Structure 1
Amino acid sequence: MSDRAVSETPPPLFDTAVVAGVGLIGGSVALGLRQRFLARRVVGLDASMDVLREAEALGVVDEVRAGPGEWLREADLVVLAAPMRALEPLARELAPFLNPGALVTDVGSVKSGIAAEMERLGVRHFVPGHPMAGSERGGVTHARAALLENAVWVLTPTDHTPLTALSRARSLVEHLGAAPVVMPPAAHDDLVATISHLPYLASLALTHMVARDERLSLLAAGGFRDLTRVASGDPRMSRDMIVENKEALRFALERFRRQLERLDADLDEPEELLAAAYEGKRTRDSLPVVKRSLLPQKHDLVVAVPDRPNQIGAVTQALGAEGVNIKDIEVLAIREEGGALRLGLESPEEVQRAAGILTDVGFEVRGRS
């Protein structure tokens, strides 16, 4: 156990990763890259110094930069994570400094525009992406690597996307714990218009009805709050998202109007309304439940392990010898050269103690948010 070479950290997928826009999603990607040992160095790029200071203080990134420059050529992964309206201007600002061989992706919720812009800019190894994850609470303070776990992450290559770039993007997504789904940009935009952007407009319409009649607010309990949850998102970011996809959204709105008209007609046909209710229940009950972070995040410790025999045993034996009780263990990512383990422990104090024990015997460890 004293031979430190036995516990060397496996090589990362990327040497230098840059996350441009360190908010909720960008910060979560950065945390995933760091905690799963996927990048040797994670650099946060943001126009706001306050955001950068917070990201650095929280351990979301290793370094911070306030603007692009020649230093960007060191990056072999660049993730564009700015809000929708700022995404294309950010791409134009960064493009002259990108390493031609770097994998570049984004996390925007509308794909056709940024895909076309990056092709115009000549960024060859760009793979548009959209992790289907989020929260009403924005900002780097609420970033969590676990936000991306088990989430569907849509990748939307164009006809000009190299297969090698798509393969690398898929590998990145999988190692972050998400499930990649590949489709063309336009198909993605049509689908999210219905399952994401339309519900936001419906939530706005319902909340506006309550706002204009004080009596309604007295009865707006749990069901109404659940139905209108997305209206609590950042108004400006939500506006930019749906305006960017307005053509596909108008088509979705027209389909929605037809559904409402059909239900209106069914009010006079109880059996038809019952059939519609059964169809709605079957559809809603069949939707997959995405489970994330079953253990309290603050009780987790991530350990880098090389791909050699008995590494899991070495970790558990080292902790067991010191009386540390492992409540849960999960293999996060195993590459050809190794990967990482997540240990679920009983308390934050046990996390600290386990970290010290494993560091002493040569493992590299990181806390998990």
Structure 2
Amino acid sequence: MTETGTVAEVRRIIAEGDLHTVFQPIVDLETRSVVAYEALSRGPAGSSAEMPDTLFRVASEVGLTAALDQACVAESLRAGHRAGIVEPLSLFVNVEAQALDLFADLLPISLVVVVEITERDLLDDLGMLLRSVSRLRASGLKIAMDDVGSNPASLAVLPLVRPDIIKLDMSLLQNQPSRHTARIMDAVSTYQEEFGAVVVAEGVETEQHISQALALGATLGQGYLFGRPSDLAPEASPPGVQVRSDVAETRPAATPFSIAAQFRTPTTSTRPLLVQTSMLLEARALDGDSSMVVLSTFRDDEDFDDDLRARYTTLASRSSLVAVFLQDRFGTLPAMDGIDRLEVRAFAASDPLRAEWSMIVLSGTYSAMLTAREVSRPDGPGLFEYILTHDREIVTRGALALAVRL
């Protein structure tokens, strides 16, 4: 069948909901008992779009990812209900980041659903992703991050999305341990220690893989050793243990400074010291790995001069995401088109960000925030009250306050 024919087939599959759902068990690594199933969508048997890689690739090429995702989710939930995957078992359902908003309207009450966010396009619209996750949590759903470790973006958004469940990419088990493996282990361990998330190891095919999974902090596993994706007979799923985690929803305050001031007492300084401190944090970000996220606010576009633009362009080339927020007083917001991973966003003069100047650096293992607010403008240098913190909880809240604006 030609590519044109494949596109037509994908359009038909979406329009008619001609999808098939198979299930793969997720087990407790210690007891080997089934605690959940992951729903996996397939096209019609024998079709050119039967396999999910082809199905989603073609849908993406023709702008139908959200429509396909909605069809897959709807069929997965119906199939899970038919198969009797009910409490205490959980049903993991894959959802593309851009389609998360469609999910809540499709949810049957009888299922304990874990929304598994795929690793593709996580940073294309981070603000939308975070707002959608917040709404899903408000509906009582748990959030899982899929394939953590497969690309830097998954680590970059980990502290912002705050998933209840982390699914480790299968390469961490199936490849020889490397510096990359150690970096993922370090980041996941840091996150797990702080937030109590459940870790699932994917790609478990041997007993040795189980040992590696346990060493990486996983308590649950998924892979051919425990079962291949298959149909489930109605009401035939075995009893399980509900997946639980200690991650709690965090609702950020309006601005980084207002958040930090809830936990720390501001100190007064002149601008030159704060400029040097901000540049130090830039250097820390440059020294970090590619999972780094940098979020900065400036009081107006004049503060974001040519030198800063050059420095932030360099930061973006070495980070997962760099975002700059500033007031565009004169309609001269700097054009940064064509620079990957660099976002420049304007805010209104009435926005409380107008009074602040913040620099936030956040990765899987490093966190820092400098946030300041001008308190006077005498004849001499202006004075600022500021807070410099490396407390990960405070930094993450400050980062969320900006990231949801993207």
Fold match (TM-score > 0.5):
no
Measured against the shorter chain, the TM-score band is 0.3 to 0.5
Question: Larger RCO: Structure 1 or Structure 2 (Cα < 8 Å, ≥ 6 residues apart)?
Answer: 1
TM-score by length of structure 2 reads: 0.31
Question: Which structure has greater helix proportion?
Answer: 1
TM value normalised by structure 1? 0.33
Instruction: Name whichever structure is richer in strand by fraction.
Output: 2
